[in-house]
Structure 1
Amino acid sequence: MKSDRLLSILLLLQTRGRVPAHELAERLEVSVRTIYRDVEALSAAGVPVYAERGRHGGIELLAGFRTDVTGLTADESRALFILAAQGAHAALGLDAALGSALRKVMAALPAPHRPAAEVTSRRILVDATRWKGGPQGPVDLDVLQDAVFADRRLRLRYRHSGEREPRTYTVDPYGLVSKAGVWYLVADRRAKPRLFRADRVRSAAVLEDPVKRRPGIELADVWQVLRRQVEERPGGLGVTVRVRRSRLDMFLRLNASHLAELPDTDGEGEWVTVRLMYGVAPEARQLLQFADHVEVLEPPEVRAEVAAAAASVTELYQRAVRAGR
């Protein structure tokens, strides 16, 4: 709606100062011509807004002009009170600030929307952590935050998965990302994007050197690149299994990261065929946790790998039984 767009333009100019017309157009998903028409409408309504054309031009409010805008819609009011689990705010030391901010927002809401916003905060909860995610190491985000907000380089001692000794890196941080309850530092190392799990950082020091980010690149841009690299990483080895229908839901939950495609669950047979992707054959040994509810069909080398692992486990316990343990 045009009224919502005008309000958005006013708020952006009030918080950002001068903003190029093309940037407003991109943010609001309209044409530059529409933005200029909206500016004319704001001016006609008495808002002291003006536009300057040229290389360094843009749209700006008259210096010193402020407005107390509380024209939130009912849905916008409710959306503000649907928040992620408190753990994210606690990790950043912002629990108290969050509570204070929400109280201020509640006081500023139009009176008809306050009851709905209050009920939403009590009826909707978003918990970003995964079920049975397993224990995580302690996470100290203080130094990482300091570097992010001070725009300084960081020196990390970081332990990679599967390695005992940490390595030392000097990085240029873009910011912090919480993904499914796990905190990550997004940074450049030698102008290449890197991802560091915060719970694997053994120590961190903020350097005096200013951060050296790639021009025009923001945290969201780097995160999208890194996320695609993780999600599109080739599995290497396709594996076909059959799963008893009674265990299928649990199997799919626990093996979501290995699924090559969603299985066809139509039908009423006892077994459902599922296709998985692994890096190497030994990774498929984890299928033994489902005992005889899962059978590897192909390839033969993975079937042999799982069979050998099962035989090894059987021999281990048979020796214990023969020894009377």
Structure 2
Amino acid sequence: MNDTSLRYLEMLKLIPRLPNGITATELHRKLQDLGHEIDKRSIERDLIKLSGMFPLTSSEGRPAKWSWLREAELTHLPALNPAAALTLELAHRHLAALLPHNALVALESLFKSARKVLDETTQTGLARWSDKVAAVPENQPLMPASISASVHETVHQALLAGKRLEISYQAAGQERPKRYPVNPLGLVSRGGGYYLVATARDYPDPRNFALHRMVSATLLDDPSIKPAGFNLQRYIAGHGFELPLGGDINLELRVSPWLASYLDERKLSPDQTLTPIRGREEQRLNATVANTDQLRWWLRSFGPNVEVVKPASLRRKLADEFAEMAELHQG
């Protein structure tokens, strides 16, 4: 289905039945909230075209209000089937915080319809599917940080409209927040938190701003400036959410039997190898990985089940940290 057909369907769903009505201006705003890039004049032409195919009518006043006729049969409009309802239910459960506020409001009736379809078709496997699947965090679960509702909505508006923001941001360790303009590039969910990827002022390098550290956010009229060639997925794949400590490293580990089995299933890198060590239960793991702070967090989490052999600098760093930790716990 092409974009025009989808827009027509959305318009038909947004038009109320007599005696209620909706203006072209209101339709234009609602369609923009749903992500349709179209001008008001095109909406007016669409309404005239649709009125020739469907039982629609417009009032004689200014501005004209469009309505379905009272006797119009609306059952021919596409209805939710269990598969579509299930998709909407799971999207609402897991993606609501990543959707623009206006889109959430506009889709609220659709989410309710999806829930109603699933409640009324409880005998089908699809209807019961949402009760049989869940997302569980791999690490220690933490309570989500509190995010200002106005900040959340303003960030969404800026991303949707391609506008700059002025934020008051209190970085970790700072006593007072600082104000400066940013160019929003994307919104990322990570570890229960939400982060705005943006460039600050006129600097070209993207940074990550935690929404819960934004004291306030104001939408500016200036268009957001996007660095040449920026792509959010490539930014994330390029370790944009990890603290880089250098380039790639050739990592050599001695790992316990259970950890070897685990990493045989979930490899550290495409070139990972696991080989038995003569006379020992452990196995030797070799892999090329990015040298990041997250790698160190990951290695620390396995305690005595992993020994870093190479690189020597990483081995010394972790040995010093573990010695300090041992001293703390013996005190």
Question: In the aligned structure 2, how far is the partner of 1:174 from the partner of 1:195?
Answer: 10
1:159-179, Cα deviation, whole Å (9 max, x unpaired):
445666644321243564434
Residue identity matched to 1:245: P
TM-score, normalised with respect to structure 1: 0.57
Where do 1:78-97 residues align within 5 Å?
A: 78-83=86-91, 85=93, 88=96
Q: Secondary structure at the match of 2:130?
A: helix
Q: Find the counterpart in structure 2 of residue 178 from structure 1.
A: 189
Consecutive unaligned residues of structure 2, counting only runs of 5 or more, are: 13-41, 55-73
Where do 1:206-217 residues align within 5 Å?
A: 206-207=218-219, 209-214=220-225
User: Could you say if the C-alpha distance between residues 101 and 84 of structure 1 is closer, same or farther in structure 2, counting changes exceeding 3 Å?
Assistant: closer
Shift of 1:12: 3.9
Q: Find the counterpart in structure 1 of residue 305 from structure 2.
A: 293
Q: Secondary structure at the match of 1:155?
A: strand
The structure carrying a bigger helix percent of its residues is: 1
Residue identity matched to 2:128: V
Question: In the aligned structure 1, how far is the partner of 2:264 from the partner of 2:153?
Answer: 36
Residue identity matched to 1:230: H
Q: Secondary structure at the match of 2:128?
A: helix
TM-score, normalised with respect to structure 2: 0.56
Consecutive unaligned residues of structure 1, counting only runs of 5 or more, are: 18-55, 321-325
Residue identity matched to 2:181: T
Residue identity matched to 1:213: S
Equivalent residue for 1:244, pick from 250, 256, 263: 256
Shift of 1:243: 0.9
Q: Contact 1:285–1:305 at 8 Å: present in 2 too?
A: no
Question: In the aligned structure 2, how far is the partner of 1:194 from the partner of 1:14?
Answer: 39
Where do 1:246-265 residues align within 5 Å?
A: 246-248=258-260, 259-261=268-270, 263-264=272-273
Q: Contact 1:153–1:171 at 8 Å: present in 2 too?
A: yes
Residue identity matched to 2:208: L
Question: In the aligned structure 2, how far is the partner of 1:288 from the partner of 1:72?
Answer: 48
Residue identity matched to 1:101: L
Question: In the aligned structure 2, how far is the partner of 1:157 from the partner of 1:286?
Answer: 33
Question: In the aligned structure 2, how far is the partner of 1:118 from the partner of 1:74?
Answer: 6
Where do 1:120-269 residues align within 5 Å?
A: 120-125=129-134, 127=135, 129-146=137-154, 148-149=156-157, 151=161, 153-160=164-171, 166-173=177-184, 176-189=187-200, 190=202, 192=204, 193-201=206-214, 203-207=215-219, 209-214=220-225, 222-230=231-239, 235-248=247-260, 259-261=268-270, 263-264=272-273
Question: In the aligned structure 2, how far is the partner of 1:174 from the partner of 1:280?
Answer: 23
Residue identity matched to 1:140: S
User: Could you say if the C-alpha distance between residues 239 and 155 of structure 1 is closer, same or farther in structure 2, counting changes exceeding 3 Å?
Assistant: same
Question: In the aligned structure 1, how far is the partner of 2:281 from the partner of 2:164?
Answer: 57
Equivalent residue for 2:78, pick from 31, 53, 70: 70
Question: In the aligned structure 2, how far is the partner of 1:222 from the partner of 1:280?
Answer: 21
Question: In the aligned structure 1, how far is the partner of 2:187 from the partner of 2:297?
Answer: 35
Equivalent pairs counted in the alignment come to 263
What is the root-mean-square deviation in Å for CA atoms of aligned residues?
5.1
1:270-317, Cα deviation, whole Å (9 max, x unpaired):
323333646479x84874554432222112333333334444455566
Question: In the aligned structure 2, how far is the partner of 1:165 from the partner of 1:252?
Answer: 47
Q: Contact 2:185–2:232 at 8 Å: present in 1 too?
A: no
Residue identity matched to 1:200: R
